Amino acid sequence: MTLMNKNRTSGRTVGGLRTLSLQAPAVTLLLLWMIVPLAMTIWFSFQRYNLLMPGMTGFAGVENYEYLLTDPALWSAMGTTLLLVGWVLVITVVGGTLLAVLFQQEFLGRGIARVLAISPFFVMPTVSALVWKNMMMHPANGVLAWLAESLGLPALDWFSSLPLTSIIIIVSWQWLPFALLILLTAMQSLDDDQVEAARMDGAGPLAIFFYITLPHLKRAISVVVMIEMIFLLTIFAEIFVTTSGGPGLATTNLAYLIYIRALLDFDVGTASAGGVIAIILANIVAIFLVRMVAKNLEQ
Amino acid sequence: MTTSPSTASAIRSAPAAAERGAAAQRAQRWRKLGITLLGWGVALTIFFPIFWMILTGFKTEAEAIADPSLIFTPTLDSYVEVQERADYIKFAWNSVVVSFGSTLLALLIAIPSAYAMAFLPTKRTKGTLLWMLSTKMLPSVGVLVPIYLLFRDIGLLDTRLGLTIVYTLMNLPIVVWMLYTFFKDLPKDILEAGRMDGAGTLQEVWYLLLPLTLPGIASTGLLSVILSWNEAFWSLNLTTSQAAPLTAYIASFSSPEGLFWAKLSAASTMAIAPILIFGWLTQKQMVRGLTFGAVK
């Protein structure tokens, strides 16, 4: 695409030449950043390449893929990835929509309440994961354990009895504010007159929500879903500092599996095959997002 | 309209209407109180872990693991101890250098590009913009292996320069996009007038474009700083000790023997405070950048 761009513009006006020279640094760097590692990942995925076995190299054909696809760990990681992405999406989109409606109402100190509610999104992942792990979910000294005991319930050892649920809670806590932030912004462009007119015609709050607010938010919701999906497919830090993928493979998602294969087992070939699978998954989502943004550019 | 009969009857029974109005007003007031309580309840619940972390930073280690309590004598011991450990300063400095360095670099590369797209558009501009967006869709984990090996071979592993390069390229598409949307909003006549007066491209950018779009450039820069500061995939995988930023430092508290909650809290509070404030200041513009202009 970019090469065609160069050919077409360079032969024309001075403006075209200027455009080319101004864009060259950004375009060249991004092209390198994308093509080189991508090509290497694909190349490695067909190679026999293990850093611990330097003698064993050469073309492996689809061996790495075969090995990976018959490895139960991959399917378990895929399942974990889907569960993690799916649940976080449901929680953040439904929760974010409801919260956006709530924070759109006028009330005393709304500005400060909004700022507090979107704050977790700005907290670095390692901090939020450790605060939840140590201070909220700790089975002996955590706030949740204390709450449960005050209510006369047994304290829960979150990370050993409900490992994936715990990760889902932490990740949702980080991404709910993102959904809220985007949906609240979208909500501000909702036509007040339309809502007022509907109210005059006797529409209740529920009818207004389902027939006016929700359709208005449809586009913003789909943007939230796609952007979250791309980030959530490769959640890493939260797993790294809390469960390290365990117990067993309970919280190992695709990203963490590739990390284990590459940097702990030094199996470059298999890790790269895993990388290719991750890229394919992300691109299925990305196509829709790019299309939607493209439509917006035309307007 | 169909309301006229009821209006007529309302005029006839004015006292009853006043009664009804007062009742409605009371209901309205209760509704408002309910929403206020709910809104604040939800906001405080979501914020609670951060609040608790800030609070724990002012406790002693013994108080930190005792039963949750709001009553204690605040102490700065943990802050002092964390500061005294020379390595905290090193990690914090790495974070500052890498996130601000990569942001400056990204702005330098992106400004000419966004300028060209906004003011000298060609048929391919839209395609180029979308292609830039699509590079963000390449999951980091998919290219971890080659980047790791390349960095190992050219000696960029565990260096601030290496991390700066990765962050610059990681944020470049978002920075170009945000700048493009800000530049596009600028009336073309202003630059036109400058050109009439004989300003070259460089002068035009330096004396007209940059001062006029400074708020937009600032919020773009802040977003880039936020994203780099909080990034925790590349920093955990490409650094070990020399160039490790705060994300990696905090991760070192995850070991079971490292259960110093008060110190973890103090270090975390310092690590997130500047970014939290940046985030609050730029939330509106962030939406623009994070959604590539799809939500306004």
Cβ separation B50–A123 shorter than 8 A = yes
A133 vs B: CB within 8 A:
yes
pLDDT of amino acid A6? 41
Helix (H), strand (E) at residue B122:
none
How many CB atoms neighbour CB A89 within 10 A? 18
pLDDT of amino acid A12? 42
Closest residue in A to B149 (Cα–Cα):
A268
Distance CA B167, CA A43 (A): 24
Q: pLDDT per residue over B76-120, tens digit each?
A: 878 887 777 767 888 889 999 999 999 999 999 999 888 888 888
Greatest CA separation for chain B: 91
Helix (H), strand (E) at residue A48:
strand A47-50
Q: pLDDT per residue over A123-155, tens digit each?
A: 998 899 988 988 888 887 788 888 888 888 877
Size of interface A-B (CB pairs under 8 A): 319
At A54, phi and psi to the nearest 5? Answer: -65, -25
Domain assignments of chain B as residue spans, ordered by start: 13-56, 78-290
Say which residue the tokens 């309209």 belong to.
Answer: B1
A296 vs B: CB within 8 A:
yes
First to last CA, chain B: 37
pLDDT of amino acid A5? 43
Residues in chain A predicted with pLDDT less than 50, given as ranges, are 1-13
pLDDT of amino acid A200? 86
Query: How many Cα atoms occupy the beta-carbon half-sphere of A272 within 13 Å?
Result: 27
Cβ separation B143–A283 shorter than 8 A = no
A30 vs B: CB within 8 A:
yes
What value of ipTM does the predicted structure carry? 0.81
Distance CA B34, CA B60 (A): 38
Tell me the chain A residues in contact with residue B110 when contact means C-beta distances shorter than 8 Å. Answer: 26
- In the chain, the amino acid numbered B49 is P
For residue A59, the SS3 value is strand
Distances (CA, A) of B71 to A17, A239, B21, B75: 68, 33, 47, 12
pLDDT of amino acid B258? 56
10-residue mean pLDDT profile of chain B (296 residues): values are: 48 65 82 89 93 87 74 79 78 92 94 86 82 79 85 89 92 88 81 73 78 85 89 88 86 71 86 87 77 70
pLDDT of amino acid B134? 78
pLDDT of amino acid B104? 95
Class of domain B78-290: mainly alpha
pLDDT of amino acid B40? 93
Cβ separation A134–B261 shorter than 8 A = yes
A10 vs B: CB within 8 A:
no
